[in-house]
Structure 1
Amino acid sequence: MDYRGFVAGVTAYFPVFAEGALLHLGDGHALQGDGEIAGTGLEISMAVKFEVRVLKGGRTRWPRGETPDCIFTVGNARPLDQALQHATTEMLRWLTDGYGMTMQEASQLLGQAVEYDVANVYNPAYSMVCKISKRLLPDVTAI
């Protein structure tokens, strides 16, 4: 799930599907273009400080990220359109469950203001990112 948007200061949300699941951090990049089309970014070692909190009862099915300016979701699949569908479906879920929008409101918002990033097209499964600006979202505390 190489995505250049997972940087210092991002709050990341990952679904957990198994009790006792483990977390792996790695594959740090000093630089990476969209899609990681050469098969690798500029690989570096990392010194990382992070905090893990378990948020029970969430409906997150795909990775999510939050910056001061936007929220984003990541879908991973092959073919590429399936990865886009996963990312979009997860964003719709976040907007309806977390921000109180109806499905129609969330769909209209995405139809007018969504941004997509191609995160990875090199690995066996592709990664697409669905992103929306926070300035367009209701002022609520969401997960």
Structure 2
Amino acid sequence: MRLRVQIVALFALGVITKISAQDNEIPFYEKQARKDAQHEQLSVFFSMEDEKDFWKDQTSYENDLETQDNASYHIYMKAKQSAYSEHAQSCGNHCEHSDYYYQRTSLYFTYKAKQDISKEAFVEAQQIASPRIL
């Protein structure tokens, strides 16, 4: 009986620890997105090549995050979208950003979390919506 109570207690502790760790990850990616956005907004480049390299690295980071942890990626992108919206409101005409900056950051303004639809669900929906010829 005591062993069973200990096992249940250890299991419950493990679940609580896992949930707590997941909760701690969410604010991290929100903070990281805001930090990255601020860095991107304040960056000054000496050449177009430097700026392209910078954005290439940033894109790689975001793609890797999406591949490795989709939920954190969506949190990151929503926080970045929010940070860029706030910056755009305060920036006005006095900010000097490059055309490449605007091209790249337009992705944050238009970001919407994609709904992952399995191939099977798509085929099933397609079959239901397809006309039947008798």
Larger radius of gyration: 2
Question: Under a length normalisation based on structure 2, what TM-score does the superposition of the two structures give?
Answer: 0.22
Q: Which has the higher helix share?
A: 2
Q: Which has the higher strand share?
A: 1
